[in-house]
């Protein structure tokens, strides 16, 4: 009996000596630490690894870039470091944008009655070209205008933006103005990859005054 206890103690001590741990920490103390899809804590965590297993580590916080790493036990891959530290940086796409309720929504702008259709359309085009370099479609007869997508790539995101103007009513003359703002969630996404983009509830700062400019310069006074 005594010999069995000694053996168990030896095995337990051997397990402790061979147990592999990795200390995971982040510069943001409230950042979520996720291991293999499971949230295990915030700021820092001590990961105990099985020798034959690999672990996917993710560190995330709203407004910051996401960070990922894979660590493996001794028998599963390259030897893991004793600690991993993530120096987190602000999300450059969010810093270059503002959260708004104006994205991807139709706004009706009733045109000032002192402007006839021709003058209103000229002014509309002028406002559009103040913000966008390329107009993809412009039909004065049907009062429809659509810019080409303007795309900007960030470290972990790609944002594309365009403006659509169309006639809502002829009397009183009213235009519908829509600012499309979409994101892909990855850097360097092709502007033509429609299936990879989704509506974004933010707009890049350089477009934040588009809707208000239409209201100020075109609308009924």
User: pLDDT 10s per residue in the chain (221 long)?
Assistant: 555 555 444 444 444 445 689 999 999 999 999 999 999 999 999 999 998 899 999 999 999 999 999 999 888 888 889 999 999 999 999 999 999 999 999 999 999 999 999 999 999 999 999 999 999 999 999 999 999 999 999 999 999 999 999 999 999 999 999 999 999 999 999 999 999 999 999 999 999 999 999 999 998 66
DSSP 1-45: -HHHHHHHHHHHHHHHHH-EEEEEEESSTT-EEEETTEEEEESEE
173-183 vs 198-199, strand pairing mode = antiparallel
The predicted pLDDT at position 220 comes to 63
Q: Identify the pLDDT of residue 77.
A: 80
| Nearest alpha carbon to residue 179 among 206, 151, 211 | 211
Distance, CA of 53 to CA of 186 (rounded, Å): 28
Tokens coding 81: 């470091």
pLDDT at 4: 53
> Measured over all CA atoms, what is the biggest interatomic distance in the chain, rounded to whole angstroms?
103
Rounding to the nearest 10 degrees, give the CA dihedral for residues 97, 145, 108, 113.
130
| pLDDT attached to residue 219 | 85
So what's the pLDDT on residue 78? 85
Q: Residue 12: its pLDDT value, please?
A: 43
* Predicted pLDDT of residue 18: 53
pTM exceeds 0.85 for this model: no
- pLDDT given at position 1: 55
């Amino acid at each position: 009996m005594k010999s069995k206890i000694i053996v168990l103690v030896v095995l337990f001590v051997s397990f402790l000596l061979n147990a592999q741990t990795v200390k995971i920490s982040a510069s943001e103390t409230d950042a979520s630490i996720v291991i293999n899809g499971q949230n295990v804590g915030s700021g820092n965590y001590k990961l105990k690894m099985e020798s034959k297993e690999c672990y996917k580590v993710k560190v995330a916080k709203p407004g910051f870039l996401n960070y990922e790493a894979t660590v493996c036990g001794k028998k599963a891959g390259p030897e893991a470091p004793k600690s991993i530290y993530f120096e987190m940086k602000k999300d450059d796409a969010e810093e270059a944008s503002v959260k708004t309720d104006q994205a991807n929504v139709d706004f009706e702008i009733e045109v000032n009655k002192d402007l006839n259709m021709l003058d209103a359309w000229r002014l509309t085009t002028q406002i559009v070209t103040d913000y966008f370099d390329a107009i993809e479609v412009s039909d004065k007869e049907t009062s429809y205008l659509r810019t080409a997508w303007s795309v900007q790539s960030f470290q972990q995101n790609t944002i594309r933006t365009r403006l659509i103007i169309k006639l809502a009513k002829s009397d009183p003359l009213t235009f519908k103005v829509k600012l499309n703002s979409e994101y892909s969630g990855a850097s360097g996404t092709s502007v033509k990859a429609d299936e990879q983009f989704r509506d974004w509830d933010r707009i890049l700062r350089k477009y934040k005054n588009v809707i208000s400019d239409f209201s100020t310069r075109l609308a009924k006074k």
